[in-house]
Amino acid sequence: MKVSSLFALFAVAAAGGDGDGDGGASQQAASNSQQQQQQGTSQQQSRGSDQSQGYGDEAAEQDSYGGEEQSSYGAESYSNEGEAYPPVGYKPKTCVGLCPPEAPFYNLDTGACAPGICNYAAPASYAGAPSGYRRLGGESDNTYGYEAPAQEAAPAAQEYSAAPAAYSTEAEPRCESLSAPHGNYVDTRNNRVSRSGTIALWVGFVLLFLPAVYYINRYLFYTYIVDEGKDHRIGSKVGKAVLKFLAEPSLICGVVCFIASLAYLAMATHHGFYVRCCDGREFYYARYLDWIITTPLMLHALCYLGGFDDDMWHFLFFQDILMIAAGLIGSTVCTSDKWIFFAFSMLNFLPIIYYLCQRKNRAIDNNIYDAAGNKKVELKDGAVLPHIWFLVSFNNAMRLTVLAWCLYPVVWILAEGTGTISSNGEAIFYTVLDVIAKTGFGFIISTSKRNTLQQVQAAGFKLLNTEAAFLEKLEKAVKGAITAVVKGGSSDL
């Protein structure tokens, strides 16, 4: 009995010890778990404080990076008031082309043409509309500021009914002007030669072609002067030499006008041009092909008529070619480098103007020479330089040329240089200058009248031999020779 009781006590004690151990372990585990949770909470709090500095979760990263990305890229690169643009990076060069009249705005980013935004103007009749609704002040009986009386609704209705009839006859709002759409657009409306410019080109063609025919006929007249059925193209007498002297410059004037008329025929039929890539402007290279041929011929006619030596003519010829070539290259350049070529062209242009104007400062040789080059006193079979009889005509043609040629750079700056004037304005200005510089030039030369040496001196030219008796004797001899040559005894030359 005692032994069994003892074993029972030991069993109870063992069971209590195991329970205490398990409870302590569970309590320890719970304690450890609580500590871990507290550490995690503290770590989260520390992380939260770090997140406030920009290192948080995805939402925080969106706040910290998304706003910056939206402000730096979205407003500038991806949208511009509803239009899509490519992201920042390499952008290929867009060549501007002409757009149709119904959609004249060219988009540099997409290459498409847009019609533009129409600015409407309200009809002027709406401004007077309130006058039809007003009533006399003495007839109003309300206190709310309305001027129509409340008790006279029927008469008011009759008055209102007449108002739409007055407005129905007015025109609807019309489009006064077009504005470019929002975006990177180029207005191409002023870049093409339209009706007014084409009319100017046709007028230029007519005013150059018809005078060319006349100048060629003058050349034939001076070359084939017939007296009593004889051909006087060859002869040693001074009268024939003076008349024959005008044949070559007249031929040059005719050829110059024929070449210019061909260029204007090409431009008037909408040929001889290309569309510039940078701004979409029509550039007529046919005009420069005309100038690079005709302007040296005009200088040759001036040098011939003014008695320039061959060395001076060769110098002016190459200066003129360089001037036109540099202007042509500058017209095709879209960057600021165009002004370098323009300056190069002007450097070659200034010597031409200087030497043409400087001719008066050189004395004219009006002495008489025989076939061997010996100086003579008697005229007879001797020869005198023919150009001295037409120096007044040379002076007039030279002044006209200098004035017209000095205006060409001005038009170049306004047209090819800065694009200040439209293509129509460019066509009109160049047409006027070409007609003056070529048709007017040819008319002065081909219709030249022989001047006396006294008239030459009065024009400001200097003569080597200024003896009055010699000049009078020379004048009589030349006048008699010309009278004998011209058919019918006419001496109007």
Q: pLDDT averaged over the chain?
A: 74
> Is residue 151 scored above 80 in pLDDT?
no
- Which 3-state string (H, E, C) describes 124-177? HHHHHHHHHCCCCHHHCCCCCCCCCCCCCHHHHHHHHHHHHHHHHCCCCCEEEE
> Is residue 46 scored above 50 in pLDDT?
no
- Please state, in angstroms and rounded to a whole number, the distance separating the CA atoms of residues 157 and 160: 5
**Which regions of 271-398 does DSSP assign to beta strands (E)?**
274-275, 282-283, 368-369, 375-376, 383-384
Percentage of residues in the chain having pLDDT higher than 70: 61
User: What would the two tokens of residue 2 be?
Assistant: 């005692």
Location of structure tokens 């739409």:
164
The 3-state DSSP class for residue 175 equals strand
The pair phi, psi for residue 370, each rounded to 5°, is -90, -175
**Side-chain half-sphere CA neighbours of 364 within 13 A:** 26
Greatest Cα pair distance, the chain, in angstroms, is: 189
Q: Lowest mean pLDDT: which of 338-352, 387-401, 432-446?
A: 387-401
Higher pLDDT, 119 or 164: 119
Question: Could you give the C-alpha distances from 131 to 142, 146, 152, 381, in angstroms and in order?
Answer: 20, 14, 18, 98
**Which regions of 189-332 does DSSP assign to beta strands (E)?**
226-227, 230-231, 274-275, 282-283
Per-residue pLDDT, 11: 56
Per-residue pLDDT, 52: 44
Percentage of residues in the chain having pLDDT higher than 90: 35
The 3-state DSSP class for residue 112 equals coil
pLDDT per residue as tens digits for the range 376-386: 666 665 566 77
Choose among 121, 239, 237, 234: nearest CA to 176. 121
Length of the chain as a residue count: 493
Q: Can you name the residues that pair with 107 across neighbouring β-strands?
A: 185
Q: Which of 27-31, 86-90, 137-141, 381-385 has the highest mean pLDDT?
A: 381-385
Question: Could you give the C-alpha distances from 40 to 29, 36, 399, in angstroms and in order?
Answer: 16, 6, 100
Location of structure tokens 């339209």:
194
Q: Lowest mean pLDDT: which of 42-51, 78-87, 267-276, 473-482?
A: 42-51
Question: If pLDDT is split at 50, 70 and 90, which confidence band does 86 have?
Answer: low
pLDDT per residue as tens digits for the range 324-349: 999 999 999 988 999 999 999 999 99
Estimate the crossing angle of helix 286-306 against helix 247-268, to 10 degrees: 170
Buried b (16+ CB within 10 A) or exposed e, 136-155: eeeebeeeeeeebbeeeeee
- Please state, in angstroms and rounded to a whole number, the distance separating the CA atoms of residues 404 and 433: 6
Question: Could you give the C-alpha distances from 182 to 104, 259, 474, in angstroms and in order?
Answer: 14, 46, 79
pLDDT per residue as tens digits for the range 478-487: 776 666 655 5
- Please state, in angstroms and rounded to a whole number, the distance separating the CA atoms of residues 96 and 281: 9
> 10 Å Cβ neighbour count for 172?
6
User: What would the two tokens of residue 205 be?
Assistant: 């063609």
Contact yes or no for 40/54 (Cβ under 8 A): no
> Is residue 359 scored above 90 in pLDDT?
no
Question: If pLDDT is split at 50, 70 and 90, which confidence band does 116 have?
Answer: confident
Per-residue pLDDT, 223: 81
Higher pLDDT, 59 or 484: 484
Question: If pLDDT is split at 50, 70 and 90, which confidence band does 191 have?
Answer: confident
Q: Can you name the residues that pair with 355 across neighbouring β-strands?
A: none
Per-residue pLDDT, 108: 80
User: What would the two tokens of residue 7 be?
Assistant: 């074993």
**CA-derived radius of gyration, the chain:** 48
- Domain 192-489 sits in which CATH superfamily? Rhodopsin 7-helix transmembrane proteins (1.20.1070.10)
CA dihedral 184, 190, 191, 193 (to 10 degrees): 160
> Is residue 70 scored above 80 in pLDDT?
no
Per-residue pLDDT, 34: 53
Q: Can you name the residues that pair with 83 across neighbouring β-strands?
A: 80
> 10 Å Cβ neighbour count for 9?
10
- Please state, in angstroms and rounded to a whole number, the distance separating the CA atoms of residues 308 and 304: 6
pLDDT per residue as tens digits for the range 300-328: 999 999 888 889 999 999 999 999 999 99
> 10 Å Cβ neighbour count for 75?
10
Residue ranges per structural domain of the chain: 2-84, 105-187, 192-489
Identify the burial level of 261 via C-beta atoms within 10 angstroms of its C-beta, where 0-12 means exposed, 13-18 middle and 19 or more buried.
buried
User: What would the two tokens of residue 87 be?
Assistant: 């992201």
Q: Can you name the residues that pair with 118 across neighbouring β-strands?
A: 178
CA angle 472, 307, 252 (to 5 degrees): 120
The pair phi, psi for residue 383, each rounded to 5°, is -130, 145
